[in-house]
Amino acid sequence: MIGLTILGSTGSIGVSTLDVVARHPGQYRVEALTANRDVERLLAQCIEFHPAYAVMADPDAALLLERRIRDAGLAVEVLAGVEGLEQVASMDSVQYVMAAIVGAAGLLPTLAAARSGKRVLLANKEALVVSGELFMQTAASSGAEILPIDSEHNAVFQCMPEGFREGLDQVGVTRILLTASGGPFRTLPLDQLQGVTPDQACAHPNWEMGRKISVDSATMMNKGLEVIEACWLFHTSADRIRVVLHPQSVIHSMVAYSDGSVLAQLGNPDMRTPIAHALAWPRRMASGVEPLDLFEVARLDFEAPDLHRFPCLRLAYQAIDAGGGAPAILNAANEVAVAAFLERRIAFTAIPAVIDSALEALPGKRVDDLDGLLALDAEARERAEQSIAGLV
């Protein structure tokens, strides 16, 4: 059996991963499950899947989980903090690591998995946004396999020919088309964006996601981060990646070729499809997702994104063009701004203003090592908090 660690098992990706694993008994052995503070859900997962280890990022939550594990009579060792996360991401008994911790918090354990030569099922896009060059060099040095889980990048991966890592020109690929639903505010009058609430922003029309990612979808920062991620995953530049609004979320992304062909991957909007694909690759296996009924879909619409409506997408391209540490600054400031919005400290329309302020305050920053990236991340977060304080 294949040993599996799930980083972020209580989130939507983690829950979907366990659903797929449960459909294939005898193929995967859950070695470790991790969460931030959700003791009750992680305990329930331990009771069902009997991992060797359970890790809580929050030390206080780890103490509570340890008591609950002991009371339940489970043979599960409880670890805590980043050290525990890195340990279960790099254990010899683990071959596959699902990297599904949201945000920069997932960077260190995901890097640990890559450093250890695992198959990394990458759902944590921030690992590449913050440390793309370092991450890809680490994976290349260790022989780690990086398989994308984001529905868009997984779709691109499925549509790419063999040998794409040698250069897209060598295999006749001219462009990557990343689709985006446009989120819940694609058609909302612009003068109403100022007053939208966190609950409205988290009500995605097609996907079930965590609150932070849902807000990123509403601002289209999620798509901007995906453009940065795609540059690293597919060894290309941002000018060959185009974002296409596709409100039905049936085509998950496309790849255009020099002969005029465009290959697309279609399916119902359910993350179990890319999860099953990456778990089984290069084979295929059942995911539990309902087959796509094109007659029920009936129509597929496409439009260009409006950068006045979605300034976060513009800022992401700006960060890509700036290079260096700009993507790390963008990501850190966005995490702080989204948290402030969810706490109702700033308006929805203030999110891009906070990000822009951080990018303006920290120009020309270039870092080449992990310590420098972490320091830049902290500096950007501090600058974003200062900007928020000036708004309230």
Angle, vertex CA 157, rays to CA 131 and CA 235, nearest 5: 45
DSSP state, residue 105: G
CATH topology agreement for domains 2-148 and 323-391: no
Query: In the chain, what are the domain boundaries?
Result: 2-148, 155-268+291-297, 323-391
Rounded to two decimals, the pTM is: 0.92
Tell me what pLDDT residue 390 has.
Answer: 83
Report yes or no: 103 and 123 within 8 Å, Cβ to Cβ.
no
Asked if pLDDT for residue 384 goes beyond 80, the answer is yes
Cis ω on the peptide bond leading into residue 282 (within 30° of 0)?
yes
Asked if pLDDT for residue 207 goes beyond 70, the answer is no
Per residue in 340-350, pLDDT (tens digit) is 999 999 999 99
CATH number of 323-391: 1.10.1740.10
Residue 115 burial (10 A CB sphere; 0-12, 13-18, 19+): middle
Per residue in 84-139, pLDDT (tens digit) is 999 999 999 999 999 999 877 889 999 999 999 999 999 988 889 988 999 999 99
Per residue in 215-260, pLDDT (tens digit) is 999 999 999 999 999 999 999 999 999 999 999 999 999 999 999 9
Reported confidence tier of residue 364, pLDDT bands at 50, 70, 90: low
Reported confidence tier of residue 327, pLDDT bands at 50, 70, 90: very high
Please compute the mean of the pLDDT values over residues 66-72 and round it to a whole number: 95
Asked if pLDDT for residue 333 goes beyond 90, the answer is yes
- By 3-state DSSP, what share of the chain in percent is helix, strand and coil, each rounded to 5? 50, 15, 30
State the CATH class of domain 2-148: alpha beta
* Integer Cα distance of 272 and 269 in angstroms: 9
